[in-house]
Amino acid sequence: MDKSLFKHKIEHTVRFHEVDMMSVVNNAVYFNYFEDARIAYVRDLKKLYNMQELLENGSWFIMAHNECDYIEPAMMDDELIIHTRVPFVKNSSFGFEHIVENKKSCKIIAKGGGVVVHINFATNKSIPLPEEFYTALQDFEAEVKILRKTPQS
């Protein structure tokens, strides 16, 4: 993962209850960080591009896949930056990539990502992402692969 490709970030200071018996942030807690980052990313993108359809009228995202590589430990009170990008988008799903960095030492703490699926909350079926989302990603991201099988014409 090339950090220069990441255009979105949130910051988080490690809280006491996130740290385990070994005095480091518990491995599962990184997925809370990724979730916070995803939610902030979508909210910020929605605002920036004035999106009207995304996550409206019962459209929702669910996780299909999650992963994390742990590189350095994070400790209580560490200030972390969670960098986020969307590397690809398909018809009704897209990927997230994250780099967790220690703000002070600039060390990379963890890398990870996930895949989310766009569904109709009532039917629980995957539905196509709105056109405005592709447009926004192509403008916002330094590099994003559009992998739609049947692009709207």
**31 near a copy of itself, rule: CB under 8 A:** yes
The alpha carbons of the chain give a radius of gyration, in whole angstroms, of: 16
Q: Which of residues 98-137 bind a copy of itself (CB under 8 A)?
A: 114, 121
Among the listed ranges 22-30, 84-92, 133-141, 142-150, the one in contact with a copy of itself (CB under 8 A) is 22-30
What binding mask, one character per residue, do residues 55-94 give for a copy of itself by CB under 8 A, x or -? -----x-xxxxxxxxx--x--x------------------
Q: Map residue 117 onto helix, strand or coil.
A: strand
Q: In this structure, are strands 88-89 and 59-70 parallel, antiparallel, or unpaired?
A: unpaired
Separation CA 8–CA 122 (nearest Å): 31
Report the candidate in 32, 36, 99 with the shortest Cα–Cα distance to residue 72: 99
Q: Measured from the CB atom, is 17 or 149 closer to a copy of itself?
A: 17
Q: What burial class does residue 94 get, using C-beta atoms within 10 Å of its C-beta: 0-12 exposed, 13-18 middle, 19+ buried?
A: buried
| Least spacing, CB of residue 50 vs a copy of itself, in Å | 19
Q: Is residue 19 near a copy of itself by the rule CB under 8 A?
A: yes
DSSP one-letter code for 116: E
Contacts with a copy of itself, residue ranges (CB under 8 A): 15-17, 19-23, 26-32, 35-36, 39, 60, 62-70, 73, 76, 114, 121
